[in-house]
Each structure stands twice: as structure tokens, then as C-alpha cells.
Structure 1
Amino acid sequence: MVSLDEYTERHPRLTDVFVVIALLGGAVLGANLIAPGESRPQDVWVAEAVTGLACLALLKARDNPRMTVIVTTACAVATGSLGFLLTPLLLAPVMVALYWLAASTASRTTWGYGGIATVLVVGTAVGVNIDGTVVLRAVGPALWLLLPLAMGSRSRLRYAYLDAVHARAEHAERTREEEARLRVTEERMRIARDLHDVVAHHMAVVNAQAGTAAHLFETDPELSKKILTELQATTSTVMLELHDTVGVLRQTGTDAENLEPAPGLVQLPDLLEVCRSAGLTVDVEIEGEPRDLPPGVDLTAYRIIQEALTNATKYSASATASLRLRYSSTRLTITVTNDVRPDNASGPGDHGYGIIGMRERAAAIGGDLRVSDSSDVGFEVVTTLPLHPGGSAPRAPASQVAS
């Protein structure tokens, strides 16, 4: 069953017509009941006509509440001037107009128009009959006109509050949707970085091993065979890592206990051995006291070293690279340097996905990554990572990760 409030919201114009008809009936009744004793019949007809005009003016109250108040107030003053006692039956059009004014306009407008209307109506009621009932004639109309002003103002404030609540709810919903989109974007970028780290490094090693094996096939078959055996192991490793990566993407929350630990600097010797099998010799230098790192920093450091050595495998002219890890009290600085072949003078460049991925990884934990290329130093990647991002407490020292 439809409530009265729902019906009025769905059919506002039809509701206004019903209100006007009801007020017209009340105006006719009031004009006949409250007519002065010495009034002529034509005075009653005039009062009915004027009050009826005020009722009809209410049909425009929603569109032009100010003009409606002016018209209904003028009609009430005219009716009072004929000597009629201004009771709620005759003041009803003004009361409705003042309610709509208060419900749809600002407080200054409401009380400005409402105050003038009240003064005019009360002044008319008092001025026509100055006798012992002057207080009654003044207080009654004043109260009846102030009541709709207060009710309309309360209604306006209530709807303003509801609108604010709805606006906040919509803003919160948009914020949640935007956060969800950002999380999806971040997750896509993370997956892209992980896949690049898994595939690019091993494919670079595979390419180097295959090229070396082809070059030595005629002159040193045994060494070529050994390299091909290592190539098979490398491809098996990349297949396993791809399988693990896809497996992580398919994991549910209940399977989190079965996840393998993320790689870190403890796997650095294995990474250096893979680079050696691809023909790249890496000189490692450690400054300061190595220590256990927070998981995010540990993974970031490993992935950046892995990508930098992958670039060295592809672009180094002398098949050598240097890796320097410098521990301070608050930061870990990683420097990977290699020279560049003349046919690849620009090195891996500054716009490849690998460089972008390294920068994103460093920035994600509050670090910084710089890439430089010079004839004196060669291609150099310098990364500075906070040892305790977010102000986490230091962990106990650990053994060296590489020697």
C-alpha cells in the first residue's frame, strides 16, 4: 500500500490540486461563518472570491514561492479590511504559501518575506477593529503565520541533512569503487613485474647459453654439450617458476599456508651461479654488516639485482659485472655496474619494462633507483632502499648472503 508521503512525492501537482480544492471549501465556509454582523452579502462574495484567488495562487507555490506569498498576503489583507476575523480558515492560503517559502528558500528570504507578511496581516487585523479584543486579534494571526514558517524551516533543514547524508554515501561509494580500481591496477602491475622478473632473467640466460653452445659446437663439443645440459636445467627452472607464479594467482585465502617463501638475498648465490652458467662473471663486494631484511625489502633487493644482472648478461661487452651491497644503519645501497658492447651503446635504455619495473619496486617501499650510462663507468644501476620502511624496528643481524 502506498503511503501518503510516497503518493505526494510521486504526484506533486495532483496533490496541489487536492489541497487547493480543500482550501477553497474552507474559505467559503470561513467567509460565511465569520462574516461581520453588519456585512452585506456582496462583502461575503468578495471575501470568498479574494480568498479563492489566494487558494488558486498556491498552484504556483512550488515554482515561485515568493510571488505566491505576496499574492496570498495581499488577499488576506483585503479580506481583513472587509471586517472579517482572520481565523485559520481564511489564513490557510497564506499559511501554506509561507510553509513552501520556508521549505524551499534560505532562512534570510524566509524570515524576510514571512516577517513582512505577518506584520501586514496582524496590522490589518488590529487596525480594522480597535476594541477590547485587540490582543486576541493580534496574537492569533501572528501565531498561525509563524507556525508554518517554523515547520517549513524544519522541513528544509531535514531534507538538507538527508541530501548531505546521501551525498556522503555516494561519495563513499565512488571512493570505494576508485580504490577497487586502483587495487586492480596495482595488482596488474605487480603481476606484470613478477612475470617479467621470472621470464626475462631466465630467457636472457637461455639466449646466452644457446648462443655460446652454438658457437662452441664445432670447436668444443663437450663444452657445448655441458652448456646445453645447463640450458635444459634453466628452461626447467623457468617452467617451474612460471608454474609457481600461476599457482599463486590461483591461490585462495585458505591455501595461503602452502605458499613458498618469496625469494630474497639468501638466494643470491644461486642467482650468481645462474649468471655464471650464462657466461657472466659477477664480482661481489659487501660493505657494512649484512642483516636480515623485512620481507618486502628483501624481495625488492633480490628482484632489482636479478633484473640488473639480466641486463648485464644481454649487454655486457666483457662478460663481467660488479655488484656492491652497502649496508648503513638505515639504508641498503645496491650498485650493479657493467660495460656495454659497442653495438649496444645505449645499453638497456631508460624506458624498458625492466627499468620501469625496478623503479616501481623501489618506489613502492620508499626507495630510489637511478640509472646512468657513461664511457668511464659503463652502465650503472644504483638503488637505495630503506632497511625499515614505515618505521619498523630493526631485526637481528644475520649471516652474510654472499662472499
Structure 2
Amino acid sequence: MLLRSVPVDVLLAVTLTGLTVATMIGQRDGAPHWMAVALAALTVAPIALRQRAPVLTMVVILAALTGLSLFSYDDFPNGGLGILIGMFTVATLRSRRVAGLVFLASVAVTAFVYCVYFTEPVYWSQVAQVTLIVLGAWALGESTKMWSRRAERLAAQAARAASDERMRIAREMHDIVSHHMSVVSLQAGLAECVLHTDPDTAHTAITTAGEASRQALSELRRLLDVLRNEADSDPENRSQPGLAQLEELVTSTRSAGLPVDLSVAGSVFPLPPGPDLCAYRVVQESLTNVLKHAGPAVAKVDLEYGARALTVRISDNGARGDRPRQLSPTSYGIQGMRERAERYGGVLTTEHAEDGGFTVLLRLPVGTPR
């Protein structure tokens, strides 16, 4: 934790050194010994390097103050400001153990200087006062270090939150665009192939592509509305689709040319918004993968509402024989589904069937339904 104010430290050191030397010369009728002036200057000059070597800075300052006491000057040069600045710096940039050792050394040196400077008896209250002043510098440095570390933690948390938000938006965009644009692409290709030979089929394909594009725009607008609403504590779950729209999803997928069977077992109950969206997106992404990778196939979506968990199974019988499935269990889409499931305490697994089919299995804990 290096403070970026070294030029300021140099300017401060030069200023304090000049004032200290001027004070030393002005306090005596005759010219002071050059060694005393040099030692007095060393009680503040090392401040220029306090952030590079804080402990060494304090060692030089304390040694200079001890040596200066041998010349029997009756006051601290610069009022002991060098010690206070050095103690503050050590407490800010070094560990508490190091700061504690420097503190003890500072108290010992200042107490020694008091005993040498003053001919009258030194009262314990004088030493206690110096101790408390140095202790205050240590406490101020320690609090500054704690504040700085807290600021760094908050900055790191903000960076992680921003990264998580980017990932969430990317995941939503992938799910929305991948599904609907796959339908549009397939239907547009079909319409182009049969435009002159089968106008009715071409018309149906174009209509399906138009509906898919409008659904994509609608979901994108919904997503943007959620992102604009900063007051929502969990914007991912606001105004988003869920299993209630599963029939619409299956219908649009059938219109795209993929036969889909939907079955529901157990007593249906509403899910919390997060798991509801998660289950919907997993089905959507899985059906999109079947459209894109399975070739001629039939898909099946099975929902089972249990007492403690919702089980969602999406399977197909595509990509048989000489058309092996090109989808990897570590692909971006599957990885995104897995991350969604883990966010809500669920588990998502995938499996290639021996006959070429593919299965996605999602288990989401939902607690006891009411």
C-alpha cells in the first residue's frame, strides 16, 4: 500500500529541514556546532523517503535525536514533528508488530531525551504526555490503514459485482438471441428453399420467423427495462418469463419444425421467480441446441414437481448414425445453464445417449410447496 505523494513528501522534508536549521541557528548567540545542525536536520530530512522505507526513516530520526541530546540542547528540534510523521507512516504501511516495536523505540528515545535535556526532575506526567502523543500518531496511522484496506475491499467487491452483472447480461442475451435467432435462421432457410415449389410452406416459415423475431424483440425490451430499474433488489427475476410461458415456448419450437412432447407430473405449484426463470431458460437453451445440432429429431420435455425439488428433463433422439452430435457438455450454452442451476442450489447434468440422442437433466430445490 504505497501512497502516491512522494513529491509532496520531498517538499515537506525540505521545508521542515529549512525551518529546523533556521531555528537551531537562531536559538543561540553563537554559531551552533555544525554536527548539531546536521543532526537536527536529520530529525526531519528522512521524511522525503518515508513511503519507500518507513522503518529506516524512523531509525535515522531516532538516532539523530539521540545524538543531538549529547549537545545538551534544551528543546526538541521542530517540536518532535519528525517522530510523529514517521510513526504515522510506519503504522500506515507496516504491520502492527513492526509499528509496536517502533512505538516502543520512540517512547524510549523521547524519554531519554527528556532526561538529558532538562536539568530539573522529569515528572512521569511529562513522559506520559509524550507517550500519548506518539500513541496518537500510531492510532491515526492504524485507522488510516484500516480505512484504505476497507476502500480496497469495497472496490474489489464493486469490480466483482460489475463482472457478475456483465456475465448475467451476457447469459440472458445468449439465451434470448440464440433461441429466437436460430428459429428465424432455420425458417428463413426453409422459406428460401421452397419459395417457388411450395408457397404455402414458405409462407408458414416466414410467418414463424416473424413471430420468433417479435418474441426476441419483446424479451430484449423486457431485459432492458429490468436493467434500467436500478431500484430492484434482484433485477434478474423481475418481468422475466417462467414456466407459465413454457407452452408458448414449446409451440414456437414446434412451429420452427421441431416436434416437442411436453409432460408434467406431480402437483403443479408456483416457483420463486429465480428458480422459475432458471427452469425456463434451461428448457429454452436445450430446445435451441436440439434445433441447431440434432438434425431431424423429436424432443421431449418432462417436468416433475416433487415435494422438495423440481426435476426438468429435456431429451431428444437426434444426430444418429453418421451425423454425430457436435454439442460439447462444456459449451458456452451448457456452461451457462449449469451456472444458473448452481446459483439456486440446483444441479444440471448432461448425457449423450448411445443411439445419438442427448439429455439435459436439471434438479432444482424448491422447498415444501404451499
Determine whether 1:294 maps to 2:276: no
Q: CA RMSD in A?
A: 3.8
Unpaired runs of 5+ residues, structure 1, are 1-6, 29-47, 77-90, 123-136, 389-393, 397-403
Taking structure 1 as reference, are residues 316 and 246 closer, same or farther at Cα in structure 2, changes over 3 Å only? same
- SS in structure 2 opposite 1:310? helix
**1:47-85, Cα deviation, whole Å (9 max, x unpaired):** x978x9656632323353443344344344xxxxxxxxx
CA distance in 2, matches of 1:112, 1:357: 63
Could you tell me whether the CA contact under 8 Å between 2:223 and 2:240 is conserved in 1? no
2:25 pairs, out of 21, 27, 32, with 21
* Paired residue secondary structure (1:382): strand
**Are residues 188 and 70 of structure 1, via their aligned partners in 2, closer, same or farther at CA, if it must alter by over 3 Å?**
closer
Aligned-pair CA distance for 1:215: 5.2
Please state if 1:142 is matched with 2:122.
yes
- Is the 2:258–2:297 contact (alpha carbons within 8 Å) kept by the matching residues of 1? yes
Partner residue of 1:229? 207
Q: Label 1:207 to 1:112 Cα distance change in 2 as closer, same or farther (>3 A).
A: closer
Q: Which residue of 2 aligns with 1:357?
A: 336
The answer to whether the Cα contact below 8 Å between 2:176 and 2:220 also exists between their aligned partners in 1 is yes
Q: 1:368 aligns with which of 326, 347, 351?
A: 347
Cα distance, 1:57–1:349 mapped onto 2, change above 3 Å: closer
Aligned residues with identical type, % of pairs = 28
Q: In the TM superposition, what is the alpha-carbon distance from 1:297 to its structure 2 partner?
A: 0.7
TM-score, normalization by structure 2: 0.73
SS in 1 for 2:329: coil
> Which structure has the larger Rg?
1
2:158 paired with 1:158: no
Give the counterpart of 1:320 among 272, 292, 298.
298
Unaligned runs of 5+ in 2: 1-10, 47-59, 88-101
CA contact (8 A) 1:20 1:55 kept: yes
How far has the Cα of 1:334 moved from its partner?
Answer: 1.6
Which of 53, 61, 77 aligns to 2:43? It is 61
Deviations 1:353-374 (A, max 9, x none): 3223212222222322222223
The count of residues paired between Structure 1 and Structure 2 equals 327
* CA distance in 2 between partners of 1:155 and 1:361 (Å): 56
Residues 328-347 of structure 1: pairs in structure 2 closer than 5 A: 328-342=306-320, 344-347=323-326
| Corresponding residue of 2:92 | none
1:208–1:153 CA distance, 2 compared to 1 (3 A): same
Query: 2: distance between equivalents of 1:224 and 1:111?
Result: 92
- Scaled by the length of structure 1, what TM-score is found? 0.67
Q: 1:200 aligns with which of 173, 178, 203?
A: 178
The 3 A distance-change label for structure 1 pair 75 and 261 is: closer
Correspondence list, 1:78-97, <5 A: 92-93=74-75
